Amino acid sequence: MRIKHRGHPAKKLTGLRFETDTQIEPGAIINSTENQEIGRVTSAVISPRFGTIGLGYVRYEHITDGTRVVVGDGIDATVSGLPFVGTNA
């Protein structure tokens, strides 16, 4: 209904680069630096090339590349455009 009446969904699938070497659980809450919930992690993996990366649905206001976010219990992350291939590590 939201898409029908407003013309677009409130969130978009985007890449995330985590500043940790531990596995991130799907469903983890993504918060803005102001501690406002802005999305959820859908999947994450530890990449030999990029470190811990993942995908998540994030509110449109926060999908700009380089936006700092906090995932779960204080794990810092950065919004990253897709695909990860060819981006700077």
Domain boundaries, the chain: 11-80
- Write the CATH number of the domain with boundaries 11-80: 2.40.30.110
The whole-number pLDDT of residue 85 equals 76
Q: Give the number of other CB atoms < 10 A from CB of residue 1.
A: 5
DSSP element (H, E) containing 6: helix 2-6
Q: Could you tell me the two tokens for 87?
A: 């981006």
The whole-number pLDDT of residue 10 equals 84
The whole-number pLDDT of residue 7 equals 59
Q: One digit per residue, pLDDT tens: the chain, 89 residues?
A: 555 566 566 899 999 999 998 999 999 999 999 999 999 999 999 999 899 999 999 999 999 999 999 999 899 999 999 988 765 54
